A = this chain, B = another copy of it.
Amino acid sequence: MKVGIINVTGYIGVELARLLCRHPHVELTCVTGRSAAGQKLGDVFPHLASIDLTIQAELDSVDLAFSALPHKSSAEAVRPLVEAGVPVLDTSADFRLSAPDYKAWYGLDHPCPQYLSQAVYGLTELHRKEIAASKLIAVPGCYPTSAILALAPAMHHGLIEPDIIVDSKSGVSGAGRTLDLGTHYSEVNESVSAYSLEGHRHLPEITRELHKVRPSGPAPAVTFLPHLVPMTRGILSSCYAKLKPNALPSGKAAIAALRELYQDFYRGEPFVRVTAAPPQTKHTWGNNLCLIYPTVDVRAGRLVVVSCIDNLVKGGAGQAVQDMNLMCGFPETTGLDAPAIFP
């Protein structure tokens, strides 16, 4: 099966290339990137020199396509593919939100709202069946992946009050490859900062998906605050919510009971691991795992869940490949089973 990557020249694009070039059931036959068109992929990205492809301006005919373009450009680029019935996995925000939400958060009229109803939100663990049946996947954002997976079991069991706080810490690669003073080495190295305090674009995905987990409950009121930390890869999300009265046994027993609920919820999931000790982002470096550590602040009666992912893998390219595996009927872990690289 021939697959292509639209806009290979960003960090999600190269990560897709890295994963797809070793996938046993697909052949990466085409990569595009306007700024680097005509150059060998390995000249622009030496770590991909084993892939013998020239970056093209436009996509050749393929059986399935990934888009790693920014929002708006992505919808415009994949529209003809969607129309032609080519399966598409879009890692941009373009097919994640309803048209009104898209307008509200991205300040744009959606370029092709008629296709939104076909799109499936590609958070594999929550939408496995719809993904398998779809030809247009909106691959989730990196922050939502870490937050939703951390909170879904608690939401599902109705353990928590709707007031939720998600405090996320991300490596700098999440900000992409476009030059900016905010990602200039000397400005971000040895520093932590919060950003998007007025509201980050990943918030509506988080809120909607958490509500979907338990649609009978009230819509959660999520405060989501992202932070930039001086490392290249990884997201750690710390999630907080008040436990409902009697939702769990009292005292320390609550922790064990919670842990069991989480383990049951994710039993059999190849890429979610409920850990016995608080995880480090480093334990996911380069692989598709989401590590989740749920606990209870017994003094305050509060749920605390910490989750870790590699923002470019489970938070982007890896999840896209996981979704492709489902769409194509491949075993879900195909091409994604290499352990993280540590240290």
Report A's interface with B, CB cutoff 8 A: 11, 14, 18, 21-22, 43, 45-51, 163, 165, 167, 169, 171-173, 177, 179-181, 183-195, 197-199, 221-223, 225, 227, 229-234, 236, 238, 240, 242, 273, 275-287, 291, 293, 295, 297, 299-302, 304, 306, 308, 337-343
Contact = CB atoms under 8 A, between A and B. Distances in A.
A338 B339 contact: no
A225 B237 CA distance: 12
A229 B188 CA distance: 13
Contact of A236 (B14, B192, B275, B337): B192
Contact of A199 (B191, B195, B299): B299
B46 A192 contact: no
Give this chain's copy count.
Answer: 4
Contact of A179 (B184, B190, B299): B184
B11 A191 contact: no
A193 B304 contact: no
Contacts of A43: 276
A284 to B, nearest CB: 8
A232 B189 contact: yes
Given A169-B169, A192-B229, A230-B230, A343 B282 contact: no
